Amino acid sequence: MVLKPQILRYSSLPSTNSEASRLALEGAPEGLCIVADEQTAGRGRLQRQWISPRGAGLYMSMILRPRQALETWPVLTLMSAVAVTDTLKRTDKVQADIKWPNDVLVQGRKICGILAETHEAADDRLLVLGIGINLTATAFPPELRETATSVAEVTGKMVDHEIILTTLLKSLSRYYELFQQGSFDQIIDAWCKRSSYANGKLVRVVSEDQSIEGTTLGLEPDGALRIVTSAGEVKIIRAGDVTAVRPDEESSKAFR
Ligand code: BTN
């Protein structure tokens, strides 16, 4: 079934994800998108805050009710990052990278974050896909200047919020159709083609209980990241924060 996004616009919300979740649990249909000009309590992954000043970012959440098995849903977060990457290229000629699983980066700095939240009730199961794209540099506080960027900064031009939103919804719908058909491999392939993290990247993965280093070795069919440690052991990563280990950090370690 083709996804037909429908947009509900708000001037201000605590969080588009929270509003979308509330409406979804009341029965709102698949494809409903909540878009706000500002968020007063925007949420990021790992309980982080997502600073969302008025007009400085695209803040949107879409309700999905996938019929595929729950174990395949992580592919939806990869799919969203691919859709954002394609959108930025199409609308603003921005060449973006994807850090596993779904941080969209330009020149190593974050331009978009994605928060996918699953809800399961007795007879209901759904996903809220929250996407925040930094449109201008005021989308993030000065202390994030080193690690974040925005479409306006990268292009040096005014950003058309509406064109980005429309293109993104089209792209999400196209990839979601592939997902619903069970063509997960096509989504994984698209992700790998767009991500410098897919293969051969030395990374550190920090999760609740461990920190490991290794070189990336592609993705599992469900989107988990494979890495091989210096001891030759292959690890499958399903959660955690991935960072690239910089070459200078490596060489300084060698001389210690
Ligand atoms: C991340 O930590 O990288 C994820 C950030 C996700 C932010 C978006 S903005 C729209 C939606 N509403 C929220 O409260 N969070 C997501």
Complete DSSP assignment for 36-64:
EEEESS-B-GGG-B--B-TTTEEEEEEEE
* 113 pocket-lining for ligand 1 (C-beta < 6 Å): yes
- What separation in Å is there between the alpha carbon of 122 and the centre of ligand 1? 26
Complete DSSP assignment for the chain:
-----EEEEEEEES-HHHHHHHHHHTTPPTTEEEEEEEESS-B-GGG-B--B-TTTEEEEEEEE---S-GGGTHHHHHHHHHHHHHHHHHHH----EEETTTEEEETTEEEEEEEEEEEEETTEEEEEEEEEEE-SGGGS-GGGTTTB--HHHHHSS---HHHHHHHHHHHHHHHHHHHHTT-HHHHHHHHHHH-TTSEEEEEEEE-SS-EEEEEEEEE-TTSPEEEE-TTS-EEEESSSEEEEPPHHHHHHHHT-
* 85 pocket-lining for ligand 1 (C-beta < 6 Å): no
Measured distance CA(78)–CA(253) in Å, rounded: 33
* 101 pocket-lining for ligand 1 (C-beta < 6 Å): no
- pLDDT, residue 121, reads 79
- pLDDT, residue 124, reads 83
* 16 pocket-lining for ligand 1 (C-beta < 6 Å): yes
The two three-digit tokens of residue 174, written as one number: 């196209």
* 40 pocket-lining for ligand 1 (C-beta < 6 Å): no
- What separation in Å is there between the alpha carbon of 53 and the centre of ligand 1? 13
Whether the model pTM is above 0.85:
yes
Of all protein residues, the one whose alpha carbon is nearest to atom 3 of ligand 1 is 113
* 175 pocket-lining for ligand 1 (C-beta < 6 Å): no
- pLDDT, residue 1, reads 67
- What separation in Å is there between the alpha carbon of 49 and the centre of ligand 1? 8
- pLDDT, residue 139, reads 81
- What separation in Å is there between the alpha carbon of 37 and the centre of ligand 1? 13
- pLDDT, residue 256, reads 31
- What separation in Å is there between the alpha carbon of 51 and the centre of ligand 1? 9
List per-residue pLDDT tens for the chain, 256 residues long: 678 899 999 999 999 999 999 999 999 999 999 999 999 999 998 889 999 999 999 999 999 999 999 999 999 999 999 999 999 999 989 999 999 999 999 999 999 999 999 998 777 899 999 999 999 988 888 888 889 999 999 999 988 999 999 999 999 999 999 999 999 999 999 999 999 999 999 999 998 888 999 999 999 999 999 999 999 999 999 989 999 997 544 433 333 3
Return the ligand 1 atom nearest residue 18 CA.
Answer: 14
Measured distance CA(54)–CA(128) in Å, rounded: 22
Return the ligand 1 atom nearest residue 132 CA.
Answer: 9
